[in-house]
Chains A and B, each alone.
Chain A
Amino acid sequence: MKILILTILLISLSVNAATPLVGPVQPKSIPAENSATEFFAKEAKSKEKSYRFNPYETIFSGAIAFVIGNVGFYTTKSSVLQLGYSGVQTIGIINVGHGIYDVNSPSTEGELYKFLVNDNYPGVSKERLSSKLIHIFAQEERAKRMALFYGSSLLTVQYFVNSFAGNSKSELKKIYLFMGGVNLIIATYSGLYKSNYEKKIYGTGFNIQPVFTATDKEAIAGGLITYSF
């Protein structure tokens, strides 16, 4: 007997691997006659940190704050210190979000500088320059959106957990609940909304694929909807 199985909707949410890491650019030789290029090189240089442990140091220090904030929040009996540790939790998550931005951000000045002095493209056409700019803008907007999405998602979870599992005063629990709600809205918005630059480079994010398989005994029909953040 043939069994017809109707499935449905499989919604999988996946996150595209970010674009390759682009670190700060170290300009090696700057054409003396090109003052605009020099300006870009100077800007790229000024935005480098004087010392950097590694590209993940912001995420790492954010994770430390997140762990210490949670341990402190759930162990201290003082309401003032609990509030302080709640601030530490928040900073930890904000820094994790900021670290995600640092890792994914294209370093606009550096990318443009590299593009302008690249010997492989001695004459830069309007089309090529536009294409490069679209790519950089898309990377930048995606980096910002991912930072906001992950940061606000984690904050949503953190504030809801604080509200339901913490032993805070009832007024404080209501505040956590409210802040969790606000972050949930931000997370949803930043997860779904894409700018035109992002759509152009990474697509709209929705992918609907019909699924149908049939054997002697059964037939399966369904669909797969994928949404990429």
Chain B
Amino acid sequence: MRTAITLFCTGALTLAGLAWAQPFRAGDTPAKGRQGTASAERIVSLDGISTEILFALGMGDRLVGRDDSSLYPPQALRLPSVGYQFRLSAEGILSLRPTLVVGRDDVRPPQVLEQLKAAGVKVILYQNEPTAEGAKRKIRLIAQAVGRTQEGEFLVRALERDLLALKAFKAQNAPKGKLRGLFIYARGTQTTFVCGEGATPVGMMELAGLENAAQGIQECKPMTAESVVAARPDVIVVFKRGLDSLGGLEGLLRLPGVAQTPAGQRRKVVAMDDNYLGSFGPRAGRAALDLFRAAYLQEGFVEVAPR
């Protein structure tokens, strides 16, 4: 037994040493004859915004898969989901036999992207920028990748028109001072976050002319009563589903600290559809306009549905 073990171990270690010296790389052997031809036949979208853009470009019928965040437009829900975009598996995506995969550049695990490319699938990635410029860049990039540059330019122009309309509307109804807006992310009363710079809904608030009340907070941090009071928000912005998870407006106002803010005292809360508020895509201009209206021109609690 002992000699057998020693023999096995020496042999195995030698083999391992050889393997260490010459690693086989999946990337060395790309599939042949797959690149460049009809690459937008079957598309898997790994992000809600890319799904929305693809449908807006008229490529909805080419989509064969989506991720869990792709909830708009409603037709997207009929597609099979490959799961959460930060918990992907290459084989799950490949099983839908895509020719093109579109998504954010920070999907997890990153190896999946290499594996997809090695299998001959074209992969288009974009940065998640919560700005109108970022939305335009995304639209152009995806439109070009699926060979619909023309339609992409239409979308960009429509977005620019919406942004101009937003600007004009803001100028006409110029508020006396900027309101301070605070975005609260909630999934039940025990899971509440305050979001600041870099968070998508906060980018939307800024586009809508609200001042970010959560200064010094990068992305989302767990909410504390004192930080909410110190932020002194004039208006509180939440996702519709976030508000529902708290048990509606009353539930939100019962969260520690919220009742002590100017927004809490005036019950000034805007609840906006998750995908509408959270997406910097073709609808960004309209969403910002709706948010501006709700925050500056309407009193009390406002619910904003997508249009």
Asked if A and B bind, the verdict is: no
Instruction: Give me the interface of A with B, judged by CB distance under 8 Å.
Output: none
